Amino acid sequence: MGRAPCCDKANVKKGPWSPEEDAKLKAYIEANGTGGNWIALPQKIGLKRCGKSCRLRWLNYLRPNIRHGGFSEEEDNIICSLYINIGSRWSIIAAQLPGRTDNDIKNYWNTKLKKKLLGKQRKEQQARRATCLTFKQEMKRETENYPVPGMVNQASHWPLLSPPVMPLPSTHQDPQDSIRNLLVELQSTTNPMNFRYAPDVPFAQYQPYENSMNIIPSASSLSPLNSTCSQVTDGTTTSTQFTVNDVDGPNDVFQGLDGFQAELSELIYSNNQQILDGFEGFYGTGIMVDGSSTGTSSVESSSWGDINSLAYPQIVSGFEACQQQRIPQVSIYDESSYFRPQ
DNA sequence: AACTTACCCAACCGCCGCACG
DNA sequence: GCGTGCGGCGGTTGGGTAAGT
């Protein structure tokens, strides 16, 4: 037997909210809070709306300090990086972008960012393929002009010519590994402010973006890692730090790659230089195709701000430990996070 | 000007996990 | 331990609008 509907579908209004409805909902919540029961709320204030609809309206539109549109380059970077690391966990991503809602980010990703990234990468990939083709043609011509004894096809003599480092075919490496490797490379650059994802090191730390929101992701998003959570205070402010001991190894971080994530991964892997060009804005570093760093990494050139805050895999790892340590779980949308009645 | 297509985004749907009795 | 209700979340839809033909 299916679950009973949360409201009487026949008697609830659907579609866009009117200004009057908005005003009613806003006024009530600002005066009384949600009362911890969204389902009962519309009846209390005389709205013919589903409780879930009220919740969504409040969270995505009416609550204070919501920002719509106008995503900055930095926000783009954060979204992309988080997406690569944790996938479509929009609520977690939203938690790192104060004032943004998961719905907004999801829409922005689906309508603009994804295309922007894919468009750029495909364009560059095509250019690269063209370059590759030219190279092969030159090799072929060279072979014809200077035949190597015993060499019957062009492929067999490539190694002798020490060609430029070309991307490996996708069958040679798990795409998930490629992202991990990328992150390792990024982490291995010398700047201590750089990305601190450390798959071979038993812990990494996470602090919320800009320290503006100490938010623990919902339990449903979390993988069972061996992690701890602690409150850190500098005397004036308190922040939550996650410490992660990834007992199963770094693969956990990359579980669930699919669709565009996999495609991004493939792009990274098959076209390291191009994707890294794209990531330069993210990490403020240049990494050569062979994995070496150009040494251009610098805080100044990075648009990330505190790059330490971007050890995203750890975002999703601290929740259980927090629970164990009885640090109260704060929902991303817990009203106390954004609204405190006077 | 009329029509079609593409795009954007608010809102809905349905599943999942947690809390509670 | 089990069933139920609710909140939370991600995927999807559909209406409005802009751009293109």
Say which CATH number the domain at A88 has: 1.10.10.60
The distance (Å) linking the CA of A273 with the C1' of B14 is: 42
Question: Can you give the pLDDT at residue A119?
Answer: 67
Answer yes or no: is A67 within a domain.
Answer: no
In this prediction, residue A121 carries a pLDDT of 66
> What is the pLDDT, as a whole number, of residue A132?
61
Residues A326, A211, single domain; the answer is yes
Instruction: Identify whether residues A182 and A261 lie together within a single domain.
Output: yes
CA(A73)–C1'(B7) in Å? 21
Quick check: A50 pLDDT over 50?
Answer: yes
Number of structural domains in chain A = 3
Cα within 13 Å of Cα(A302), Cβ side: 22
Q: Give SS3 for A51.
A: helix
pLDDT at A286 over 60: no
Enclosing H/E stretch for A241: strand A238-245
Looking at the structure, tell me whether residues A298 and A217 fall in a common domain.
yes
Distance A77 CA to B2 C1' (A): 42
Neighbours of A139 (CB within 10 A): 16
Would you place residue A135 in the very low, low, confident or very high pLDDT band (cuts 50, 70, 90)? low
Strand B nucleotides within 7 Å of a protein CB: 7-19
pLDDT of residue A285: 32
Q: Same domain for A52 and A145?
A: no
Query: Does residue A1 form part of some domain?
Result: no
Same domain for A324 and A222?
A: yes
Indicate whether A154 and A215 sit together in one domain. Answer: no
- Verify that A331 and A273 share a domain, yes or no: yes
With CA of A320 and C1' of each nucleotide, the nearest comes out as: B18
- Residue pLDDT, tens place only, A196-225: 333 333 223 333 333 333 333 333 333 333
A92 in any annotated domain: yes
Same domain as A156, residue A230? no
Residue A189 has pLDDT above 60, yes or no: no
What average pLDDT score do residues A112-127 get?
72
Q: Which domain holds residue A268?
A: 173-338
Return residues with beta carbons within 7 A of strand B. Answer: A 2-3, 9, 13-17, 49-50, 52-53, 56-57, 60-61, 68-69, 103-104, 106-108, 110-112, 115, 219-220, 329
Final residue belonging to a domain, choices A18, A39, A62? A62
Contact between A315 and A206 under an 8 Å Cβ cutoff? The reply is yes
Q: What's the gap between Cα A7 and its chain centre?
A: 34
Query: Are A153 and A244 found together in one domain?
Result: no
CB A257 within 8 Å of CB A177: no
Q: Which of residues 20-79 of A touch strand C (CB under 7 A)?
A: 34, 36-40, 51-52, 55-56
**Domain assignment present for A328:** yes
* Chosen domain end from A125, A142, A164: A164
Interatomic separation, CA of residue A262 and C1' of nucleotide B21, rounded (Å): 44
Of the candidates A209, A210, A185, the one whose C-alpha atom is nearest the C-alpha of residue A197 is A185
Q: What is the DSSP secondary structure assignment for residue A188, as one 8-state letter? A: H
Helices (H), chain A: 19-32, 41-45, 51-57, 73-86, 90-95, 102-108, 114-145, 154-161, 175-188, 251-254, 259-270, 272-283, 319-324, 335-338
- Counting residues of chain A whose pLDDT is more than 70, the rounded percentage is 32
* Distant-in-sequence, close-in-space partners of A121: CB < 8 Å, separation ≥ 6: A264, A267, A271, A274, A275, A278
Whether A301 maps to a domain, the answer reads yes
DSSP state of A59: I
In a domain, A3, yes or no: no
Tokens representing A180 are 């991990």
Are A89 and A319 in contact by the 8 Å Cβ rule? The answer is no
pLDDT at position A201: 30
Nucleotide nearest to A115 (CA to C1'): B7
State percent of chain A over pLDDT 90: 0
Among residues A7, A111, A106, the alpha carbon closest in space to that of A59 is found at A106
The strand pairing partners of A243, in sequence order, are A205, A228
* pLDDT surpasses 60 at A9: yes
Residues A133 and A244 reside in one and the same domain: no
Q: Given strand A205-206, what is the order of strands in its sheet?
A: A205-206, A238-245, A226-233
CA angle centred on A210, ends A188 and A184, rounded to 5°: 15
Does A148 share its domain with A247?
A: no
Paired tokens of A9: 């579908």
What pLDDT was estimated at residue A342?
A: 32
Q: What are phi and psi of A256, to 5 degrees?
A: 85, 15
Distance CA A49, CA A20 (A): 13
If one compares A314 and A46, the residue with the highest pLDDT of the two is: A46
Element (H, E) at A239: strand A238-245
Using CA atoms, how far apart are residues A4 and A41, in angstroms rounded to an integer?
A: 18
- How many Å does it take to go from CA A259 to C1' C17? 29
Tell me the pLDDT of chain A averaged across its residues: 55
Q: Is A167 exposed, middle or buried (0-12, 13-18, 19+ CB in 10 A)?
A: buried
A138 domain-assigned: yes
Q: Which residue has the higher pLDDT, A192 or A40?
A: A40
Q: How far is the CA of A241 from the C1' of B8 (A)?
A: 37
Last residue of a domain, one of A129, A164, A199: A164
Chain segment A219-271, per-residue pLDDT in tens: 333 333 333 333 333 333 333 333 333 333 333 333 334 455 666 655 555 54
Tell me: do A77 and A124 sit in the same domain. Answer: yes
Please indicate, yes or no, if residue A248 is contained in any of the structural domains.
yes
Which nucleotide does the CA of A104 lie closest to, via C1'? Answer: B9
Query: Per residue in A157-186, pLDDT tens?
Result: 333 223 333 333 333 333 334 333 433 343
Max mean pLDDT range (A127-136, A151-160, A293-302, A311-320): A127-136
